[in-house]
Every structure is written in C-alpha cells, then in structure tokens.
Amino acid sequence: MDSQTKTEPMRVLVTGGSGLVGKAIEHVVKQEGGCLEGEQWTFLCSKEANLVDLQQTRAVFEKYRPTHVIHLAAKVGGLYLHMKENLHFLIHNGPPHDSNFGYSHAKRMIDIQNRGYFEQHGRRYTAVIPTNVYGPYDNFNFENGHVLSALMHKTYAAKKEGTPLQVWGSGTPRRQFIYSLDVARLFLWVLREYDEIDPIILSVGEEEELPIKDAVEMIADALDFKGQIVFDTSKSDGQMKKTASNAKLQRYLPDFTFTPLSEGIKKTCDWFVNNYDIART
C-alpha cells in the first residue's frame, strides 16, 4: 500500500480490483460510505492492464495519476496450488514452511522493498498482512481456491450430488480466519491513518484460532449439509499452526469488531449459492 500525501483529495488506484479483497474494498467504498468527498477511486483488474508489463504499468499511472495505491494484484491460491507451483508464486509475487515457501518469501520481500524505498527515496509504502481471508468473490475452485472457499464449493457439490463431503487433510491444522469486508474496512483505516512503514497484521485474536474441522462443521450448517464428512488423511495438512498476533492492531483500534466466523461463513455461502453462475469455480 502506497500513501503519498494527505494535503489534497485522494486519487486511489486499487489493483486486483476484481478479486476477493478488491471487491470487498469496492463494496465498502461504494456502499458503506467509504469514499469521502472529492476522492476518486479506480478499481483495476488484470483484463484492463498487465502490471507485470512496465509499459502498461506506466500507462495506467499516467492515465489515473493516483496519489495512493492499494496493490492487491498477485498470483494467489490455496495450499495445494502453493505446493504445486512454488516457483511461479515466487516469480510472480515478488520458507517458513515447505508447502508455500515461494509465496511466503515473495510476501516477506515486500517489507524489505518498502523499507528500501523509504530509506533511499522517501516513499511511504507499507505492507498489510491479513490472515486467512474469506468472503464473496473468492476463488471457489476445488484445488486452487483458499481453504474455506474450496470447502464451501465441495460442500455445495456434495449436497447436490448426494455424496459424502471429502475434506483434504485431517482437519486438525488451526487457522485464524478474517471476513473480507472486515479486511476492507481495515484497509481504509490503514490508508487514511496508519503512517508506519513497518507492516501491520490484520487478524482476529489468537484466541479465535480454530481447527479447520470446526470451520467445516460451520460450512455444513450454513449449507444445510446432512451427509457424511470424510477427512482424507492421505492429503497434506500443510503447516499445523500459523498463529498471528493482532496486538499491534488492537493498540490502534481496540474497539474494532470482527465479523464472527459463523456469520461470515453463512454470508459467504449465501453469496456463493446465489451467484454460482458468476463465481470463480
């Protein structure tokens, strides 16, 4: 995220505007009053510009002249896509665990790059680090989607076909999940109020970390799935815990209220069912 100046109305360019977090930010900006008077918001998707191409990137900046950039465009995916294409994630995004070392190193290099730009050029970039994000407009593909979105699609299909729900892994790894609209609301706060170069973690508290099997049960309830749930332990669990502290966020925003996981799952499942024809599957 790039923050240049607060002395003039913001012209905000959001890359990755058609993805999970981009769509959530667009919702908050356009439907929750997130756009202040005089501001201009542009949501850019990959069909409009390939930001890996330097000439196209320059053309985008010359056209929109942004004062602020929320850079979301990236190659993303779930555990099994990370395991299969680690090199692609490293190359296209810029090892805490063998399952996703490419993606992890690419993300960590962002912080180093931000520090370098500030020290050498005085540019104010920072990195926002959400934990496991879920919500409408995610990729619900069985193999390549994030864990909750893939499970929602699998549960929907199992109910429709009258078959057991096959969950890859044991269901015992623990994760902290954050609803995409919560992430979007926090992104706007970061854009307007957070001045540090050091990154900030956007996450529910450590006490909200729970086993994936608990989330599976919430999804089954949300979709009214009554069938058998089978955990395929021949599939990798990935990292067993990725506990993140939100202490820094709590110091800044002690009264921020996160959407309860069961509520967010229900809203996302409802969106998926009602928008199945346009969802990424």
Question: What amino acid positions are annotated as catalytic residues?
Answer: 103
Q: What angle do CA 41, 134, 219 make, to 5 degrees?
A: 145
Biggest CA pair distance of the chain: 60
Which of 82, 64, 16 is CA-nearest to residue 238?
82
Residue reference for tokens 């993606």 = 103
**Residues with Cβ within 8 Å of residue 10, at least 6 apart in sequence:** 36, 39, 40, 67, 68, 191
**Contact predicate 248/201, CB 8 Å:** yes
Helix then strand then coil, in percent of the chain rounded to 5, is 45, 15, 40
3 state SS of 4: coil
